[in-house]
Amino acid sequence: MGPLVVTLVLVTGACAAPGSDTADDAPPPVRTESPDFGGTNAPVDEIPDRITGYGDFSAFRYHEVDWIQVVRAIVECARDQGMPVEPIPPGDGISFDAVPLEQNELATKIVDACEAGLNLPTYEEPTRDQIARRYEDLLRLKACLEREGYEISDAPTLDSFVDGYGSTRDGSWNPYDDLLFTVPYREWLRLNVACPQQ
């Protein structure tokens, strides 16, 4: 069994654009033929840059994308190419734990090609209101983790979180940071189901 390699995906919003179906109501994507590159026996340089047929997010803005749906699509695509990757609860990350060590590089290239095939929108800086909503989500997450019996450090003020978002310690505050490297992996997975990160 290979070492755990994780790709984290930040969930920032819902996947429904105005007038469109929600992520749960949308029809399944139409499959295209898998590229003929030799599957799990292929050299890494034979993997195409894009594997398509698992969804198309080009009509969405960055903050409209449901990143859990993106992870599901990438996992399904990679599995169809023979890579036993798994979603990490609550579904916003990908585990390579079941991938044989000698295939980690190949699996990474396949996952990257699957992601590229989804036509994801480019990153957009969040608005002040979006950051404030993120802060409220983190306060709810803090309360949930405390109900689970964990002591979580005090939150920064809303203003310091918004003003420093992504660039200072206050602006990067996340209640889960207090638990990094202190809880066993299985407990981390359990907590992410009980108190899902948004």
Question: Is pLDDT larger for residue 50 or for residue 171?
Answer: 50
Q: Are strands 86-88 and 93-95 parallel, antiparallel or unpaired?
A: antiparallel
Q: Does the structure show a pLDDT above 60 at 163?
A: yes
Question: Is pLDDT larger for residue 158 or for residue 17?
Answer: 158
**Per-residue pLDDT band at 134 (split at 50, 70, 90):** very high
**Per-residue pLDDT band at 24 (split at 50, 70, 90):** very low
71 near 87, Cβ under 8 Å?
Answer: yes
* Token pair for 26: 């949308």
The percentage of the chain sitting over the pLDDT mark of 70, rounded to a whole number, equals 78
Q: Minimum mean pLDDT among 1-5, 51-55, 101-105, 124-128: which range?
A: 1-5
pLDDT at residue 167, rounded to an integer: 83
pLDDT, one tens digit per residue, over 87-108 is 987 787 899 999 999 999 999 9
DSSP state of 17: P
Question: Is pLDDT larger for residue 115 or for residue 19?
Answer: 115
The C-alpha atoms of residue 137 and residue 155 are separated, in whole angstroms, by 12
Q: Does the structure show a pLDDT above 60 at 197?
A: yes
Phi and psi torsions of 17, nearest 5°: -85, 160
